[in-house]
Structure 1
Amino acid sequence: MITHPFKAAGAFLKAFPLVLSKELRLFILAPLLANCLLIGLLYFVAFSYFQTLMDSAMGYLPEWVSFLNWLFYLIFAAIISVLLFYSFSVGVNILAAPFMAFLAEKVEAKQTGKVFDETLTAGVIMAIAGRSLQREFQKILYFLPRFILLLLLSFIPLVNVIAPVLLLLFSMWMLSLQYMDYAFDNNKVTFHEMRMALRSKPLLCWTFGAIVMVGLAIPIFNVFMMPIAVVAATLLWISVFRTQHGDFSALLDRPRGVW
């Protein structure tokens, strides 16, 4: 478990040359375009309405707690930022899901030699899009009650001091869940089984999510973060999770006589 943060960081270092490889460019250009458009929309919304939303939220506070305005400002800012972030994330992931699923397939095929039956046709893209939408709704249903609980904790005295930290940890967990999902889904691992597998390696998931979060916070670089995260997540699926879910195809590549 101690080595898991290093495995997560190492996966991102290995992902960079793969993202730039000729075989994967087709599956990266479309989501990059979607990223550019939605990031621009996100920044426009954030800069246009953020202060208005903050002033409106602060207006509901009674005057006798005005000395804690800085704390409530921090809490409301964290809540609004997370809402904007997930709104952006869901939109991008729905648009780019078919391409990200194929990107994860190509990375796994390139690294392991595994052959996937699906070829890039309109029918297959529609099927993957439908499956991806189903998984996205599963993630939303998983996210909403937990986020609401954290939101309620933000209004409980004393407990609300740690609410931003809990929101941060939960955001890192959700980022890990989001980008790991493509490789797991390609290999027919259910959403519940994936959560159980990731839950068994919390340091790996939090480190992965933290790296993605930092990358998304860097202007210009954040445009490339989605394909890099998908490739890194697929590498982690191969090195950490694949054999736990009955995929022993790598063993078949061994020379005869090794058995």
Structure 2
Amino acid sequence: MSPHSAVPVIGPRAHLSDFFQGMGLLGRALSLVFRSKRLFALSALCAVITAVALAGLIWLLWRHAPGVLESFWARPESWYGRAAWTTVLVLSSLVVWVVGANVVPPLLLAPLQDPLSETTEAVVGGDDGPPFTLASFVRGIVTGVAHTLARLFFLLVGLAVLLPLHLIPVVGSVLWTVLGSLWTMTWMAGEFLAAPMTRHLYPFAEVRRMLRERRALCLGLGAGVYVLLWVPILNTFFLPLAIVAGTLLFRGLRDAGLLPPPPSAGPGAVK
């Protein structure tokens, strides 16, 4: 696969099979990382930082999750009560782990996200974004912060809306885990598709439009990242692979004419 062929060819109409194309973006990203020395170096640096962050999250959950649950629900003495309590603990910890893994490492690696996305576009033969100016730099930071806050807001609101499911004994926690995971996958897709779109100064409304109009494709990307989080060793590379995959998805949507020319290109720009 040549670097340019890493960009997916996206059909003009949405299909359920797009889900598998979205998942396949992680494989394209992995191949591209190994074809570019700079992408590999940036990804390796991200992996080291991510490994430390994920290990810290595991330690925090192991140390404090039981105490937090006990503050809401005292540990039962009966065997069936303890079984239900442990089930809630495990299922809740799984979702908290995924959410934490998608909040803490990106915050720590924020300075490396744009270089990863820029390098990906350069490797596949795309534009690198607007030339540097102080005004565009400041505008990019403001846009990025606004996008991040908006995405975090939607993630937390979605999980909060599902939280009352815990009131249904045992089954409610299972439902919360499944629905919370689906919501988190969708959020992941928006998070990593928004990375290149933010750099090109697209409004957040365009990110939401892609999530809505190409739901299966975006959910496939989110599901791929979600699964990657559970693969030991490889999960330390989840963030750079997700950013590269999100950038490839962005380029595919651009090439398919599903996104307008980026605001960063200025008026009259040609796709």
Which bracket does the TM-score occupy, shorter chain normalised? Answer: 0.7 to 0.9
Query: Is this contact kept in 2: 1:90–1:136, CA < 8 A?
Result: no
* More helix by percentage: 1
Distance 1:69 1:193, change over 3 A: farther
Query: Is this contact kept in 2: 1:212–1:229, CA < 8 A?
Result: yes
Distance 1:117 1:27, change over 3 A: farther
- 2:162 alignment counterpart: 150
Higher mean displacement: 48-57 or 1-10: 48-57
- 1:7 alignment counterpart: 21
Distance 1:67 1:222, change over 3 A: same
Distance 1:37 1:132, change over 3 A: farther
Distance 1:48 1:25, change over 3 A: same
AA at the equivalent of 2:194: D
1:108-257 → structure 2 map (5 Å cutoff): 108-118=121-131, 131-156=143-168, 160=172, 162-240=175-253, 243-247=257-261
Unaligned runs of 5+ in 1: 254-259
1:99-149: CA deviation from partner (whole Å, max 9, x where unpaired): 112211221233243242346x99988875554333221112222222111
Distance 1:224 1:241, change over 3 A: same
Q: CA deviation at 1:15?
A: 1.1
Q: CA deviation at 1:217?
A: 1.2
Q: CA deviation at 1:171?
A: 1.6
Identity of matched residues, %: 23
The total of aligned residue pairs comes to: 249
Q: TM-score, normalised by structure 1?
A: 0.80
Query: Is this contact kept in 1: 2:114–2:195, CA < 8 A?
Result: yes
Distance 1:180 1:115, change over 3 A: closer
Provide the rounded CA distance (Å) in 2 between the counterparts of 1:130 and 1:30: 26
Provide the rounded CA distance (Å) in 2 between the counterparts of 1:15 and 1:184: 17
- 1:98 alignment counterpart: 111
Q: Out of 38, 43, 48, which is 2:58 matched to?
A: 43
AA at the equivalent of 2:165: L
Higher mean displacement: 68-77 or 37-46: 68-77
1:59-78 → structure 2 map (5 Å cutoff): 59=74, 70-71=83-84, 73-78=86-91
CA RMSD across the alignment: 3.3
AA at the equivalent of 1:133: V
- 1:256 alignment counterpart: none
Unaligned runs of 5+ in 2: 1-14
Query: Is this contact kept in 2: 1:8–1:208, CA < 8 A?
Result: yes
Q: CA deviation at 1:6?
A: 2.6
Distance 1:56 1:29, change over 3 A: same
Q: TM-score, normalised by structure 2?
A: 0.77
